[in-house]
Amino acid sequence: MEIDPLIFRLSIFILSIFVGYYVVWSVTPSLHTPLMSVTNAISSVIIVGAIIAGLSGNSESIFNTSSIFGFLATALAAINIFGGFLVTQRMLAMYKKKKRDKK
Amino acid sequence: MMSSNLSAIFYLVSGVLFILALRGLSSPETSRQGNLFGILGMIIAIVVTFLSIGNYSSGLVFVLIFILIGGSIGAFIAYRIPMTAMPELVAGFHSLVGLSAVFVAISAFLNPEAFNLGLPGNIKLGSLIEMSIGAAVGAITFSGSIIAFLKLQGIMSGSPITFKGQHFVNAIILISIIILIYLLCSTQSENLFWSLLAVSFLIGFLIIIPIGGADMPVVISMLNSYSGWAAAGIGFTLENTALIITGALVGSSGAILSYIMCKGMNRSFFNVILGGFGATEDTSLNLNKEQKPVKSGNADDAAFLMKNASSVIIVPGYGMAVAQAQHALREMVDTLKKNDIKVSYAIHPVAGRMPGHMNVLLAEANVPYDEVFELEEINNDFPNADVAFVIGANDVTNPVAKTDPQSPIYGMPVLDVEKCKSVLFVKRSLSPGYAGIDNDLFYKENTLMLFADAKKMVEEITKSLD
């Protein structure tokens, strides 16, 4: 009997939870704020769904209810992607090792 | 057009890059490289999506325009936001993840053909279940984060809002969500889909209003987790590996952070979620309390004490962030170091309004991260230090957590500030902290209270040190 593809996705999901568990425990507490902003940015990979939705209109009707929601979702996810990665970058740049005597 | 097998492999690659992005955060040295992995993963996912659709109608232009608009807003915010506003920013970003999950679910529900999920009114059962769970969790994340944002921003009062029968109402709503999902899946009715969204928005709002301001670290972490589960739900609907992996990572990351924050307050997760902490005690405690003597001093006294010390431990808290005193504090420390005084910083896990909040503020003020220590690392050093300089922290230093089983914060891990030879306490007044309890530390022999705005006080001390 063939296995439902859902089971494969479920396996990926469960294993990723475990990967996440171990990876996140190894994050140093001083970087917990950047951790939150970067998880924010990566969870906006939901933009792939938004793009599919935005491109779902055919050439006669680019704007239907479904694609409009897609466009809006694209914009929201893009705010998060750019905002999330850039603000993380900005924070991490502050954690550069500094010379002690440098003022 | 890219074959779906090939694109699935690329999505897997981007999922792996996201794992590496989080992995990089295990130390400050590797963290920047980690962030680049994350960005690369995102670029791969987006490009592959465009290539695999292969439908370049004029809709493409609009998608690109919207990415550009969103991207510029995001970049603008990222460059302009002050570091003290990080908790609000993160809460705001969570709400956007939630809302975009809702929007994607709506378009998938209205136009399932575009996602290969069947026909409108006849969506594959499995997809419909995944979609409705993703939409419901996304809606909860959205409205919950909005409330968290308003509370952090101070637009809405940080004190818990409770009413009679609150838990009962919440329970009813949660059950109705499950019933709605069940009915939706059996009838495919559009109206039920909208009702599900409405009810989910409502419950997100209701869960967060009873939670008080100082519990925000838990709330933000929890919403972080929710945004991950919402993304995963949508990932199952879209059969997209990158989204499923990311959702699981973010979901577990938020859950771990919530756990760490709860442990930092010695409270169970449910205790925080059910809310109302500190609201009941306030009135009774401030009454019939005899005035105990406190020693208060000025900047010169503080400067004198620290100048004669050989080691100083600084304990920053949320008050430092409010007063924007981190830069002034660093200048004071620089002066101390010039006088050959050893200075380190002690950070309590729940100092500030989000996990790691104090560390970021200190990093912003150019404090080297190897001078900043977590509670477990530094707590044994207090007896050997000459001066503890508490700035903007209160409850996390309260010895009552170790001595009085009646206290609401009993059992919470605290910094052993009282073991220092002398304690300097910068505070605006004697008012109790968030937990609504008096701090015994104020009345100790070796404590000197410095009543002033944190930033002004630190600046004055720096002047008297010179």
Q: Write down the ipTM of this complex.
A: 0.92
Burial class (CB within 10 angstroms; exposed 0-12, middle 13-18, buried 19+) of B170: middle
Interchain proximity B104–A28, CB inside 8 Å: no
Read off the pLDDT of residues B28-69 as tens digits, 9 standing for 90 and up. 889 999 999 999 999 999 999 998 887 667 778 888 999 999
> Does the pLDDT of residue B280 top 80, yes or no?
no
The model's confidence at residue B290, banded by pLDDT at 50, 70 and 90, is: low
Read off the pLDDT of residues B310-343 as tens digits, 9 standing for 90 and up. 899 999 988 888 888 889 999 999 988 888 889 9
Measured between alpha carbons, how far is B178 from B58 in angstroms, rounded to an integer?
40
Q: Strand, coil or helix: what is B189? A: coil
Q: In chain B, positions 320-359, which contact chain A (CB-CB < 8 Å)? A: 334, 347, 349, 354-357, 359
> Does the pLDDT of residue B369 top 60, yes or no?
yes
Chain B residues with CB under 8 Å of A19 CB are 19, 248-249
Q: Are B41 and A48 in contact (CB under 8 A)?
A: no
Q: Alpha helices of B120-189 — where are they, by DSSP H? A: 125-153, 166-187
Measured between alpha carbons, how far is B157 from B212 in angstroms, rounded to an integer?
9
Weakest mean pLDDT among A3-7, B233-237, B285-289: B285-289
pTM of the model: 0.89
Mean pLDDT of chain B: 86
- Unique residue bearing structure tokens 């979620």: B273
User: Can you list the residues of chain A whose pLDDT is less than 70?
Assistant: 58-60, 97-103
Mean pLDDT of the region B205-213 = 84
State the DSSP string of B392-455: S--GGG-THHHH-TTSTTTT-----GGGSSEEEEEESSS---TT----GGGGSTTEEEEES-HH
Interchain proximity B28–A97, CB inside 8 Å: yes
